Amino acid sequence: MQIELTAADGHRFGAYQVGPSDAKRALVLVQEIFGVNSHIRRVCDSFAAEGFAVIAPALFDRAERGAELGYGPEDRQRGMALRKQVPDDGAMADIAASAAALPAGARHGIIGYCWGGTLAWWGATRSTGFVAAVGYYGGGIAGTRTEVPNCPVQLHFGEKDGGIPLTDVDSIREAQPGVEIFVYGGAGHGFACDDRDSFDPASTELARSRTRDFLNRHLPA
């Protein structure tokens, strides 16, 4: 269901909430640069079906309320423009407010995709509210690779990602030997999104299996 939350700076924003209210494990699920669209809601639903309470904050509400985009070239350009209007601190404040709205008795994790992959990394390094973090193809991780995570982290990248060269992945691996990092042969950016042309079912299935095992270890049911 759609809810409204308030960040510490007073900003009010929408969010998609799903899953049991008495869940023992919970996730903040962070969007791509396309908003909390139908794909992100389906991903939330899939985690909820496994017993997670999930909240996906509408980070674009700081720039344009209710923005939901598809995956065409014009959508990408618009998404990039909207993302530039959302300050990093503002996005992190919305993530913190979302975490606070999760069931209090649950163990809290964070997972994100694309822009959200970077924000999930920052959720691990710039806050202490999560016990596990998972990031998929976060383009900003390499630039902040020396930040110290406060919880276990797992990262996923595509070998053929045009925006994240393998040299970036190698630099993250070198800076963070304690982080689980996986590269998927032949996969491009956004390989885990079934609405994208770059969708790679085999890589997605493997990544999701690894994600599930990681979350089961750190956020047991």
Contact by Cβ (8 Å): 121, 153:
yes
Rounded to two decimals, the pTM is 0.97
Two structure tokens written together for 82:
């909207």
Residues with Cβ within 8 Å of 147's Cβ and at least 6 positions away in sequence, in order, are: 121, 122, 125, 126
State the Cα–Cα distance between residues 203 and 172, nearest whole angstrom. 21
Please tell me what DSSP assigns to residue 219: S
Question: In this predicted structure, what is the pLDDT of residue 221?
Answer: 80
161-193 residue pLDDT tens: 999 999 999 999 999 999 999 999 999 999 999
15-70 residue pLDDT tens: 999 999 999 999 999 999 999 999 999 999 999 999 999 999 999 999 999 999 99
| Interior/surface letters 129-152, b for 16+ CB within 10 angstroms, e for the rest | bbbbbbbbbbbbbbebbeeebbbb
State the Cα–Cα distance between residues 19 and 26, nearest whole angstrom. 9
Sign of CA dihedral 116, 119, 124, 130: negative
Query: Three-state SS for 88?
Result: helix
Q: Domains (ranges, CATH) in the chain?
A: 2-218 (3.40.50.1820)
Average pLDDT of the residues in 134-144:
98
